[in-house]
A and B are shown apart, each in its own frame.
Chain A
Amino acid sequence: MNRFDYVKPATVAEAIAAAGAPGAAYLASGTNLLDLMKGNVVRPERLVDITQIKELTRIETLDNGDVRIGALVRNADLAYDASFARDFPAVAEALLSGASAQLRNAATVGGNLLQRTRCAYFYDTASACNKRAPGSGCDARDGENSQHAVLGWSDACIATNPSDFCVPLAAFDAVVEIEGSSSRREVALEALHLLPGSTPEREGVLNPGELIVAVRLPAAARGFARHARYLKVRERNSYAFAVVSAAAGLVIENGSIKQARLALGGVAAKPWRAHDAEALLAGQSAEPEVFEHAADAALREAKPSGDNAYKIPLARQLIVRALAAAAQGTPSRMPALPASPFSAVPGALHDA
C-alpha cells in the first residue's frame, strides 16, 4: 500500500480538523478500508484513526426514548446488548448474520454504514469501474454479475450495497448523526446512500471530511419488537454476503396489520425500503396472499441487470417468508443461525 500519514485524535473536533485535508480517510476498525488499501482500490494520503474517541462508543437511551448508538460501538457489542436486542430484534439479528464472529468483534456501527460494495470489478483495479474510476465504464455489465442489482441500477453501475445492518435500520427509520467542520446535521438512513444514476462514484450524501458520530433508532421502532425479523439468503450458511435479504416489522392488532415496515438488502446500491409494500400491508390481515401482493409491489420496478433474473423471484419468496415470520412473532431467543431460513425453530441447535 501507499505511504500515508497516520493521526490518532482524541476528540471529534480534532478528528474533523485532521480529516479536513484532501485525501484523508477516517479509520475505525478497518475491516473494509484496509482490504481496499491493500488492493490499491483506495489510496488515502492520511488516515485519521478515530478509535480513541471514547464518546463514540456509547449506547444510550435519550429522554425522548430514542436509542443513540455511537459510531464506534462494535457490531457484536450492539447485537449482544440485551436491552437493545429486546427492543430492536431484527437489527440484532441482521448484525449477527453479517460477516464472521471475528469481524463482528471488530467492525463498528459507523464503518458498517459506509462499507463499500463487494462488486468484484470494483475491487479489481484492472477492470473498468465507474465507481472506482469515473467514466472508465462498467465491466460488471457483461461480466460475472449473478449477484448484482435488480433495483435502482443504472447503465453506469449495477453494484449492490452489502450491509446487513443497514437493511433493518432503513426499515425502522433510523437517523444518522453527522458532524462536519462547521455544522452538525442529521440524515435519515434511508437517504444516506445514493443510487448510482450517472455518478456511481458518489455513494452517499456525506461530504468530504464529515464524520458519522451516531445512529439513532426512534422510540417508535420499538413498536415492532414483537413482530420483527431479518432473513438472509446466502450461498453458504454463514460468512457470506446476502444474495437477497429482507427486514420485516409489523404491528398487529386483532389479526390485522396496523403498521408495516419492509426493506431489502442485496438488491440495490442502497438498502431498499419498500414504502409501496408497507402502504399496501397497512390495514390488511396478516395472510399469505396479502404478503404476496406486498412482495409484488416491492418488486414492481425490479429488472435483471445481467445473469441475475433469479434474484427477483428469490426476493419475492423472501419477502413473503420474512413477513410471515414477522407475523408469527419474534423468536424468544436469537436463533443459533441468525437470519437463516433454516432457523425456523427459534433457538434450535445449528445442526438440529
Chain B
Amino acid sequence: MTPELNLSRDPAHLRHGSNIGQPLSRVDGLAKVTGRATYAADNNPPGLLYAVLAVSSVARGRVAALDVAAAKAHPGVVEVMTQANRPPLHSDPDGKPNPFSFRFEALQNDRVRYANQPIAVVIAESLEAATEGAALLAPRYEAEPARIGLDADAAYVPPVVGMGMPAEQRHGDVEAAFAASEKQITAIYETPPHYHNAMEPHAIVAEWQGDRLVIDTPTQGLVMMRARLAELFGIAPDNILIRSPFLGGGFGGKGLMAGPQVLGILAAKMVGRPVKLVARREQLYGPFGHRSPTKQTLRLGASAAGQLAGIHHHARIATSSFEDFYEAAAHVTHTLYAAPAIATTYDAVRMDTGTPLFVRAPGLAPGSIALESAVDEMAEACGLDPLAFRVKNYAEVEPSTGKPFSSKALRECYTQGAERFGWWERPLKARTMRDKDGFLVGWGMGTATFHALMFAGQARAVIRRDGSGVVESGAHDMGQGAWTALAQVAADSLALELDQVTFKAGTSDLPDAGIAGGSAHTATVGTAIHNAGAAVIARLAELATSDQRSPLFGAGNAGVIARNGRLIRRDDEGRGESYADILARAGLDEVDGSGSGVPDPAANEQYAMHSHGAVFAEVKVDPDLGQVRVTRMVGAFAAGRIINPKLVKSQLVGGMIWGISLALHEEAVTDRRSGRIMNANLGEYHVPVNADVPAIEAFTVAEHDPFVNPLGIKGVGEIGITGSAGAVANAVAHATGVRIRRFPVRISDLVRRA
C-alpha cells in the first residue's frame, strides 16, 4: 500500500483560491485513453503524401551513388529528394546562429557523419510505396573507418560543458586534501550511450499555404523551433504555425529542432502538397540526439572518521565529429557533499555518431550514479553506514560556492525516507542478507538532486464579461501533465474555479512559454501565468476602485483581493463585486493582462537553488545465476511547492524507474567497426517492463522556498532518476559484495563462475 503524497494545503501556499495543491487527474487523460488526443502523426490533411527517410548504413564517408531511377520507377513514388535536387534553404544547416542551434543534416551535401544519418527522402502516395522506394535507392558509399568508443580518437579538453559551464572547476586544493587524507579511494565508472526512446517517434506533418507554413510536430520548444525554422526558410516567424498539443514523451529528445523535421518541410515544398514524415523506430537512433557514453574517474579523500576532505570527479565524454555538446557528468559533485576541496575536470573525444544532446537529467543521471557509488565505496572504507556517512558530510551551504541554499529539506528526506524504508535495520557488511528462498538481498541508497531552474516564459490572462477566464501560454505537455498543472495555476491566478477558466497551450501563436526542459516548465510558465493573472486582477481592481458606483470605490488597488470570481475589500470582506459586474459597468467585453516568468537574478546571485531527495532500494540477486531484481524502492523528495501531488508522484515514480533502467538495463550496443547501433529497437534496447518495477513509494516532504520564484516551485521532472540509479547500484553491491562499476549491471558480472 503506497500512501498518497502529502497535500500541500498550507494556507501560505494558497494565493487566491484552492486549485493549487489538489491531486487532480489529468484533464487530457480521457482523450488519451480513448484515442481522441491527436498526436502529430495522427493528422491527415487532404492531399497528404508520405515521406520516408533513407538513412546511411555507414558512419563516416560519402554517398557515392543512389539509384534514384529505381526508386522513382516504383509505383506510387512521387519524388525522391536528394542533395542534388532539394529546395534551397535560406541558411546553412551547418551554421551556428546561437548556442542552442545545433548543426544538423538536411541533404546539404553528400557527406555521411554517422550511421542512420538521412541521405535521401522518398515521397509517395502511400507509406508502403515510400518505404519501398527508400529501399530501392540501394546506396553505395565511399566509407572511411568509423571512430567509435571513448578511446577512438585523441582526447582534448572541451571549451565548455553542458550549456556553458567550465570544463575545469576547482574549489580548494584537492591534491593537498588527498595528501592529508587517511582514507583514499579511486574508482572508474562507465555508462553507455542512452537514447530517449519516447513512445511517440519524431514526426511531422508539413503544409505550405503559399508563404505560410503550418506544421504538426511534437516539440518541447514551440517558439524556439519557430524562430529556427523562420531563419532556415527565410520567412517571418508569424508566417509559421506549429501545433504540438501532445507529446508522447520528450525527455529532451524533442527539445530542439532536428534535421528530419526540416526534411519533412522541404519535401512538402518540393511536391507542393502536405507531407507526413515519421521516423521509423530504428531511425530514432541517429539524428535526434542521445546521451554520450561516459567514463568517470572519482577520487575521494576522507578522514578515518569519515569526514570528506576532497573529491575529484573527472569525466571522459564524447561528442560528434561536427558539433560540440559535452555531457556535464561531473558537475553534480559541486553541489552535494561538504568536501572542503572539490575539482571537476573533463576531457572528450570525437566520435562518428550523431551529436549527443539533452537526455533526461543531462549530466546528472550518469554523474549521480558514479558519485553515489563512490560515496558508498568511501563509506565502506571508513566503516560507516552509507546514510550516516552522507549525513556526516551534509552540505549546509553549497560546497563549491559557499552560497546558502534557497531551501534544502534533504535532511527531512533522509529521515523520513529511511524510516519508511526501514533503513536502520541494514547490516553494515555486504552479502550478509538472504531471503527465505536463498536469494541475496541488498539495501542501497542515493542522494537525489537537480537544479531548480527557470527559463523565460510569457502568459496572457483574460477576464471575460461573463466573469470567466482565459489563460494562454504556448506551453508543452509531454505527458508530465502541463495541461492540468498549469490550468490549476491559471485558475488560482484569476481566483476562479478550474471549470471557469479556459487554458490554451500547445501552439506557437500563443505567448512564448520557453522550453519545456530542465524540469523548469511549471516554474517558468506557472510564474508567468501567476503574474498575468495578477496583472488582469489589477486592471479589474483599477476599474472598480476608481468608479464611484462600485462598492470598492476608493479602496485602492492594494486594498482589494480576488476570491471566487469577485473582488472584495481587504478590510471589509462583506463589500465586494463580481468580475462580471465590474466589466458590465465599465462597458467592456473583457480585460487582459500579461505576465512573464523569469529567474530573479538577485536571488540567483545570493542563493544556490536545488531540489533534493533520498532514494532507498532493495534488490534481490540470484547467487548462482546473477539475475537481479529490484524488489522495493522508497523515494523522499523536497521540491518546493507541489502544484499537483498526483502528477508529481507520477513524475517521481517515472524518474525512479528510469534510475532502475540506468543501473540495470539501458545500453545502446554499438558495433565498433561499423558505428551502427545493433539494438535499435524497443525489443532489444532494454528499458524496465512491469516485471522489473517493484512496489515504489514516492513522496514529498514539506519545503517552503520563498526565493526560487513567487510560487515556490522547484520542478520534479528529472530529479527522480538521480539518486535512484545509485541506490540500485549500491544495493547490488550490498547484496553481492561485488562492486560493479560498468553500467548497466549485467548477468555476466554476477554469475557464479565456479
Listed stretches B309-317, B527-535, B626-634; interface member: B626-634
| Contact indicator A237/B691 (Cβ below 8 Å) | yes
A344 to B689 CA separation, bound complex (whole angstroms): 20
| Contact indicator B669/A144 (Cβ below 8 Å) | yes
Is residue B187 within 8 Å, beta carbon to beta carbon, of the partner chain? no
Instruction: Given the known inter-chain contacts A40-B135, A351-B631, please indicate yes or no for A342 contacting B754, CB distance below 8 A.
Output: no
Listed stretches A46-54, A116-124, A180-188, A195-203; interface member: A116-124
**CB nearest to B687 among chain A residues:** A236
Which of B620, B665, B669, B747 meets A243, CB within 8 Å?
A: B747
| Contact indicator A121/B678 (Cβ below 8 Å) | yes
Is residue A6 within 8 Å, beta carbon to beta carbon, of the partner chain? no
| Contact indicator B57/A314 (Cβ below 8 Å) | no
Residues in chain B near residue A127, CB distance under 8 A: 671, 674, 676
Instruction: Given the known inter-chain contacts A143-B671, A351-B695, please indicate yes or no for A2 contacting B132, CB distance below 8 A.
Output: yes
Interface of B: prevailing SS: loop
| Contact indicator A1/B132 (Cβ below 8 Å) | yes
| Contact indicator B753/A313 (Cβ below 8 Å) | yes
A341 to B438 CA separation, bound complex (whole angstroms): 11
Which of B664, B678, B692 meets A144, CB within 8 Å?
A: B678
Is residue A234 within 8 Å, beta carbon to beta carbon, of the partner chain? yes
Residues in chain A near residue B695, CB distance under 8 A: 351
Which of B132, B437, B678 meets A120, CB within 8 Å?
A: B678
Is residue B327 within 8 Å, beta carbon to beta carbon, of the partner chain? no
Which of A3, A118, A238 meets B692, CB within 8 Å?
A: A238
Instruction: Given the known inter-chain contacts A310-B748, A313-B751, please indicate yes or no for A236 contacting B625, CB distance below 8 A.
Output: no
Residues 685 to 700 of chain B near chain A (Cβ within 8 Å) = 686, 688-692, 694-695
| Contact indicator A342/B620 (Cβ below 8 Å) | yes
| Contact indicator A120/B691 (Cβ below 8 Å) | no
A243, chain B: closest CB distance, angstroms: 6
Residues 234 to 251 of chain A near chain B (Cβ within 8 Å) = 234-240, 243
| Contact indicator B629/A342 (Cβ below 8 Å) | yes
A321 to B437 CA separation, bound complex (whole angstroms): 13
Interface 0/1 of B651-688, CB less than 8 Å to A: 00000000000001100011101101011000110101
A306 to B109 CA separation, bound complex (whole angstroms): 39
A350 to B689 CA separation, bound complex (whole angstroms): 12
| Contact indicator A233/B625 (Cβ below 8 Å) | yes
Q: How many residues of B contact A (CB 8 A)?
A: 45
Residues in chain B near residue A237, CB distance under 8 A: 627, 629, 689, 691-692
A331 to B676 CA separation, bound complex (whole angstroms): 44
Residues in chain B near residue A320, CB distance under 8 A: 624
B438, chain A: closest CB distance, angstroms: 8
| Contact indicator A126/B747 (Cβ below 8 Å) | no
Residues in chain B near residue A144, CB distance under 8 A: 669-671, 678
Residues in chain B near residue A256, CB distance under 8 A: none
Which of A100, A235, A314, A341 meets B665, CB within 8 Å?
A: A235
Residues 90 to 123 of chain A near chain B (Cβ within 8 Å) = 100, 118, 120-121
Instruction: Given the known inter-chain contacts A1-B128, A1-B131, A310-B747, please indicate yes or no for A351 contacting B627, CB distance below 8 A.
Output: no
| Contact indicator A240/B751 (Cβ below 8 Å) | no
| Contact indicator B624/A321 (Cβ below 8 Å) | yes
A4, chain B: closest CB distance, angstroms: 10
| Contact indicator B437/A118 (Cβ below 8 Å) | no
| Contact indicator B674/A126 (Cβ below 8 Å) | yes
Is residue B216 within 8 Å, beta carbon to beta carbon, of the partner chain? no
Interface hub of B438, B620, B748 (most chain A Cβ within 10 A): B748
Instruction: Given the known inter-chain contacts A237-B629, A314-B625, please indicate yes or no for A120 contacting B684, CB distance below 8 A.
Output: yes
Residues in chain B near residue A38, CB distance under 8 A: 131
Residues in chain A near residue B58, CB distance under 8 A: 126
**CB nearest to A308 among chain B residues:** B748
Is residue A10 within 8 Å, beta carbon to beta carbon, of the partner chain? no
Is residue A13 within 8 Å, beta carbon to beta carbon, of the partner chain? no
B127, chain A: closest CB distance, angstroms: 10
A225, chain B: closest CB distance, angstroms: 24
Is residue B421 within 8 Å, beta carbon to beta carbon, of the partner chain? no
A309 to B686 CA separation, bound complex (whole angstroms): 22
Q: How many cross-chain pairs have Cβ atoms below 8 Å apart between A and B?
A: 111
Is residue B746 within 8 Å, beta carbon to beta carbon, of the partner chain? yes
**CB nearest to B693 among chain A residues:** A351
Is residue A318 within 8 Å, beta carbon to beta carbon, of the partner chain? yes
Residues in chain B near residue A21, CB distance under 8 A: none
Interface 0/1 of B30-67, CB less than 8 Å to A: 00000000000000000000000000011000000000
Residues in chain B near residue A314, CB distance under 8 A: 625-626, 747-748, 751
**CB nearest to B664 among chain A residues:** A236
Residues 1 to 22 of chain A near chain B (Cβ within 8 Å) = 1-3
A281 to B88 CA separation, bound complex (whole angstroms): 74
Is residue B233 within 8 Å, beta carbon to beta carbon, of the partner chain? no
A124 to B58 CA separation, bound complex (whole angstroms): 12
A234, chain B: closest CB distance, angstroms: 7
**CB nearest to B624 among chain A residues:** A317
Residues 121 to 160 of chain A near chain B (Cβ within 8 Å) = 121, 124-127, 139, 142-144, 146
A48 to B638 CA separation, bound complex (whole angstroms): 60
Is residue B405 within 8 Å, beta carbon to beta carbon, of the partner chain? no
A341 to B629 CA separation, bound complex (whole angstroms): 10
| Contact indicator B625/A317 (Cβ below 8 Å) | yes
| Contact indicator A236/B747 (Cβ below 8 Å) | no
Instruction: Given the known inter-chain contacts A127-B674, A310-B748, A313-B752, please indicate yes or no for A236 contacting B624, CB distance below 8 A.
Output: no
| Contact indicator B747/A233 (Cβ below 8 Å) | yes
Residues 26 to 76 of chain A near chain B (Cβ within 8 Å) = 38, 40
Instruction: Given the known inter-chain contacts A321-B624, A351-B631, please indicate yes or no for A235 contacting B746, CB distance below 8 A.
Output: yes
A40 to B748 CA separation, bound complex (whole angstroms): 33
| Contact indicator B627/A233 (Cβ below 8 Å) | yes
Is residue B553 within 8 Å, beta carbon to beta carbon, of the partner chain? no
B658, chain A: closest CB distance, angstroms: 14
A146 to B749 CA separation, bound complex (whole angstroms): 12
Residues 318 to 352 of chain A near chain B (Cβ within 8 Å) = 318, 320-321, 337, 340-342, 344-345, 350-351
A285 to B686 CA separation, bound complex (whole angstroms): 41
A320 to B694 CA separation, bound complex (whole angstroms): 28
Residues in chain B near residue A1, CB distance under 8 A: 128, 131-132, 135
Interface 0/1 of B586-630, CB less than 8 Å to A: 000000000000000000000000000000000010101111010
A40 to B670 CA separation, bound complex (whole angstroms): 21
Which of A124, A139, A240, A310 meets B686, CB within 8 Å?
A: A240
Is residue B208 within 8 Å, beta carbon to beta carbon, of the partner chain? no
Residues in chain A near residue B627, CB distance under 8 A: 233-234, 237, 340-342
**CB nearest to A146 among chain B residues:** B748
Residues in chain A near residue B683, CB distance under 8 A: 239
Residues in chain A near residue B670, CB distance under 8 A: 144
B399, chain A: closest CB distance, angstroms: 37
**CB nearest to A99 among chain B residues:** B683
Residues in chain B near residue A142, CB distance under 8 A: 673
Residues in chain B near residue A3, CB distance under 8 A: 75, 132
Is residue B455 within 8 Å, beta carbon to beta carbon, of the partner chain? no
**CB nearest to B670 among chain A residues:** A144
A2 to B629 CA separation, bound complex (whole angstroms): 43
Residues in chain B near residue A239, CB distance under 8 A: 683, 689, 691
| Contact indicator B678/A350 (Cβ below 8 Å) | no
**CB nearest to B696 among chain A residues:** A351
Residues in chain B near residue A318, CB distance under 8 A: 625
Residues in chain B near residue A40, CB distance under 8 A: 135
Which of B437, B622, B678 meets A143, CB within 8 Å?
A: B678
A114 to B631 CA separation, bound complex (whole angstroms): 36
A235 to B625 CA separation, bound complex (whole angstroms): 11
A43, chain B: closest CB distance, angstroms: 9
Which of B135, B671, B694 meets A139, CB within 8 Å?
A: B671
10 contacts between A and B (CB under 8 A): A1-B135, A40-B135, A124-B678, A236-B665, A236-B688, A237-B627, A238-B691, A240-B686, A314-B751, A317-B752
Q: Which residues of A contact B (CB under 8 A)?
A: 1-3, 38, 40, 100, 118, 120-121, 124-127, 139, 142-144, 146, 233-240, 243, 310, 313-314, 317-318, 320-321, 337, 340-342, 344-345, 350-351
Across the A-B interface, give the 5 residue pairs with the lowest CB-CB distance, nearest first.
Answer: A126-B57, A238-B691, A237-B691, A344-B437, A120-B678
